[in-house]
Amino acid sequence: VALSAAISGSVSENFAVGMHFAVICAEDLPRIDAAAAAQGSPLRFGSAFADLYRQACRLVPSRAVPPEFYSVPASKVPVLIFSGGLDPATPTRHGDSVAQRLGNAKHVIAPNLGHGISAQGCAPMLVSRFVRDASFERVDGDCLARIPAPSFFVALDPAAAPRTKP
């Protein structure tokens, strides 16, 4: 999402950069194993992302979060959880785990979507029903399964790719 917004010149409109870094710097970066990151990832970018975040986080004020922040308490309060089947950051197994730990949760999966489900397709209607009724009774995620997978295209010659003006 951030890369897409940056390329299209609309980062400030579509992505809360300050909030993103505040969250990542406080919650995620401290948990990255420095030795593992130094070895790099088997993926194409190696440790580049961890290195970039470390540099950015030096400039972002943040506080350490307490250890209990990372645990999921059981709750009687109903919780609606969305997951995207194509989300590499928070895969569906994480939603399953959180739903099980919470106890009173419904996990709805959008198989052909990535991160940020609540604004996609019929999800806003599902959220509205859930909030209005404080119940899962009318939350049927089948409509999310009908959203088609995104089309992907990689330009053979990046220099020939069309450019948009900000």
In order of 70, 101, 102, 127, 138, the CA distances from 67 in angstroms are: 6, 17, 18, 30, 36
- The span from the CA of 127 to the CA of 130, in Å, is 5
Contact 62, 56 (CB under 8 A): no
> Does residue 84 surpass a pLDDT of 70?
yes
The whole-chain average pLDDT of the chain stands at 83
Q: Are 100 and 50 in a shared domain?
A: no
In order of 34, 42, 103, 129, 152, the CA distances from 155 in angstroms are: 35, 24, 46, 41, 10
Q: Tell me whether residue 65 is in a domain.
A: no
State the total domains in the chain: 2
Question: Which has the minimum average pLDDT: 15-19, 29-33, 41-45, 113-117?
Answer: 41-45
Q: Tell me whether residue 101 is in a domain.
A: yes
Q: Are 97 and 135 in a shared domain?
A: yes
Residue 128: predicted pLDDT: 95
Residue 4: predicted pLDDT: 44
> How many CB atoms neighbour CB 12 within 10 A?
10
The whole domain housing 128 covers: 72-145
